[in-house]
Amino acid sequence: MVKEYCGVMGAYDFDGLDVALDLYHGLYTLQHRGQESAGIVTNDYVALHPIKGPGLVNEVFTKDNLSTLKGKIGVGQVQYGSDDPNEAVLPILSRYCKGTMTLAMNGFITNYDELRSELEQRGAIFQSTSHAEMIMNMIAVARITSHSAEAALAQAVAKLKGAFSIILMSPRKLIAVRDPYGFRPLSLGKRGNRYFFASESVVFDVIKAHHVCDVRPGEIIKIDDTGITHIEEGLGKRPALCVFEHVYFARPDSVLDGNSVAQARINIGKELFKAHPAEADVVIGVPDSGLYFSLGYSYESGIPYGFGLVKNSYVGRTFIRSTDEIRTEAVSLKLNPLREVLDGKDVVIVDDSIVRGTTSANLIRLIKQGGARKVHMRIASPPFLWKCNYGTDIPDRSGLIAARMTVDQICEHIGADSLGFLPLESFERVGLNPKLHCMACFTGKYPDEK
């Protein structure tokens, strides 16, 4: 399982109305991007109003506490990683020489240690290991010599390496920036006189807004009394949206930099069949991420699509088990094979990726327990060969099975009857241009390294 870090949102209402409810609905919609904590901070020009804490959006916010979030400007965040006591719960608030500053951020700064050390040498202190806290320090330092918050932000961004989508709320402005390569998605939406930034476009669907544009790599967009200002500081490099957003992270109903995620997934399934056909009685997917791929595989192959694994909808983050229980029980609490579909069949199962191989081995064992005669596994991405530098959980090579084994060895290791990975070049065929996307975990070519 690969986790990404965070979903962010911002809102600005030109009529001065409270924006908290839209932020709440938006975070609700972005919940899949971070389930460990949630927060909203609004600004009514008198004070900042923060509600933040561990838990799902539904747990952190109540009708009562939402009603205290007054203000026409606001930012929100859902987050992974806040279990670590050294990690701050975002959005993070601070006061500096020009008043308040609140930051929501999705991403990972690769030169964090170096930049932090630089700040420490100037006398800065850090109350967490949050990259957002460091960025606020950089902005504060930059602000000494800058004429505006957006200029200070630009100055900070120029020094940052890595992947980041940032939404900054200053006393009277809402400012968004996407890193120079645009690794993480970020879009601008609009409903009436109210504007929104959000990690994924599906937020706009849900709050009945429409998609205005994507924030371009390296672009800064400022919203204040004077209107919407697109600031081009020349920070942008070649676009490199994380291709795994399409494979796994994003909701299928989002459109990322112009590409429909659902469409991409279905087409990936079709490409998978072209590259690795199989003779089988049924194609099944791993709920929920694998369903679109398997439907595409079914479309292309003509092999009937079926539900072979039933998911327990109430599975939370953990369940209790004794160590002497059968190993696979955890899997079967979550997924149960459907004998009526599998028994005596040759089955194609499509999953998004293989990291260590353990999950795949469990899945295949489960499907065979359900009576399948043969299991042909298809993977909707190329083999992971390189670690991600940009904030996902894809581990370094020692943890990647494909870095140590051939496809045939992996196939045997996980107990499949055949195994096929998506060819790298298929991405281009489904519209995910390698020149516009980061595929470093498959290729080792990190966009920000020469």
Could you list the active site residues? 6
For the bound state, the minimum distance from the C-beta of residue 60 to a second copy, rounded and expressed in Å, comes to 11
Q: Does 193 bind a second copy (CB under 8 A)?
A: no
**Footprint (CB under 8 A) of a second copy, residues 332-361:** 332-333, 336-341
Specify whether the CB–CB gap between 256 and 201 falls below 8 A.
yes
Minimum CB separation of residue 286 from a second copy in Å reads: 14
User: For the CA atoms of 254, 255, 261, 264, what is the dihedral angle to 10 degrees?
Assistant: 170
The only residue of 104, 176, 256, 262 in contact with a second copy, by rule CB under 8 A: 262
Query: CB of 422: closest distance to a second copy in angstroms?
Result: 20
Nearer to a second copy, 169 or 295 (CB): 295
216 Cβ neighbours under 8 A, 6+ residues apart = 178, 182, 236, 239
Query: Binding of a second copy at residue 238 (CB under 8 A)?
Result: no
CA–CA gap between residue 135 and residue 157 (Å, rounded): 9
The least distance separating a second copy from the CB of residue 49, rounded to whole angstroms, comes to: 9
**Torsion, Cα of 79, 82, 87, 91 (10° steps):** 40
Q: Does 227 bind a second copy (CB under 8 A)?
A: no
Q: Is 119 helix (H, G, I), strand (E, B) or coil?
A: helix
Q: How many CB atoms lie within 10 A of CB 329?
A: 12
Nearest approach, Cβ of residue 28 and a second copy (Å): 6
Q: Which stretch binds a second copy (CB under 8 A): 226-234, 323-331, 389-397, 422-430?
A: 323-331
Which is closer to a second copy, CB of 142 or CB of 278? 142
Rg over CA atoms, the chain: 23
Which one-letter DSSP state was computed for residue 55? Answer: S
Question: What part of residues 356-395 is at the interface with a second copy (CB under 8 A)?
Answer: none
46 binds a second copy (CB under 8 A): no
Does 213 interact with a second copy (rule: CB under 8 A)? no
Q: Of the two residues 234 and 258, which places its CB atom closer to a second copy in the complex?
A: 258
> With binding defined as CB under 8 A, does residue 148 bind a second copy?
no
Restricting to residues 12-41, name those near a second copy by CB under 8 A: 21, 24-25, 28-29, 31-32, 35
Helices 131-145/149-159 angle, 10° precision: 120
Q: Is 325 in the site for a second copy (CB under 8 A)?
A: yes
Residue number with CB closer to a second copy (293 or 390): 293
- Find the binder of a second copy among 178, 211, 251, 387 (CB under 8 A): 251
Measured CA angle at 308 (ends 285, 407), to 5 deg: 50
d(CA 223, CA 67): 24
Show the beta-strand stretches assigned E in 233-369: 241-242, 255-256, 259-260, 282-285, 309-311, 335-337, 346-351
Does position 6 interact with a second copy (CB under 8 A)? The reply is no
Nearer to a second copy, 242 or 341 (CB): 341
Of 156-164, 235-243, 285-293, 378-386, the window that binds a second copy (rule: CB under 8 A) is: 285-293
Minimal distance, residue 243 CB to a second copy, in Å: 18
User: Contact at 8 Å (CB) between 61 and 31?
Assistant: no
Question: Smallest gap, in angstroms, from Cβ of residue 17 to a second copy?
Answer: 11
Strands (E) across 172-240 are located at: 174-178, 187-191, 194-198, 210-214, 219-224, 227-232
Q: Residue 229 interacts with a second copy (CB under 8 A)?
A: no
Pick the binder of a second copy from 46, 122, 323, 435 (CB under 8 A).
122
Contact in structure between 60 and 37 (CB atoms under 8 Å): yes
Q: Is 173 helix (H, G, I), strand (E, B) or coil?
A: coil
Residue 45 in contact with a second copy, rule: CB under 8 A: no
* Residue 112 within binding range of a second copy, rule CB under 8 A: no
Site for a second copy (CB under 8 A): which residue of 11, 157, 175, 202?
202
Residues 228, 221: contact at Cβ < 8 Å? yes
User: Minimum Å distance from CB 282 to a second copy?
Assistant: 11
269 binds a second copy (CB under 8 A): no
Q: What part of residues 72-91 is at the interface with a second copy (CB under 8 A)?
A: 85
Looking at residues 51 to 70 of the shown chain, list those that interact with a second copy (rule: CB under 8 A).
56-58, 61-63, 66
Q: Which of 301, 297, 240, 289 is nearest to 261 (CA)?
A: 289
3-class secondary structure for 61-78?
Answer: CCHHHHHCCCCCEEEEEE
# residues near a second copy by CB under 8 A: 83
Name the residue among 418, 422, 319, 332 with its Cα closest to residue 376.
418
Evaluated on CA atoms 52, 53, 57, 61, the torsion sign reads negative
- Output the smallest distance, CB 439 to a second copy, in A: 23
Q: According to CB under 8 A, which residues from 302 to 321 bind a second copy?
A: 304-307, 310, 312-314, 316, 318-321
- Nearer to a second copy by Cβ, of 15 and 314: the residue is 314
Q: Are 424 and 443 in contact (CB under 8 A)?
A: yes
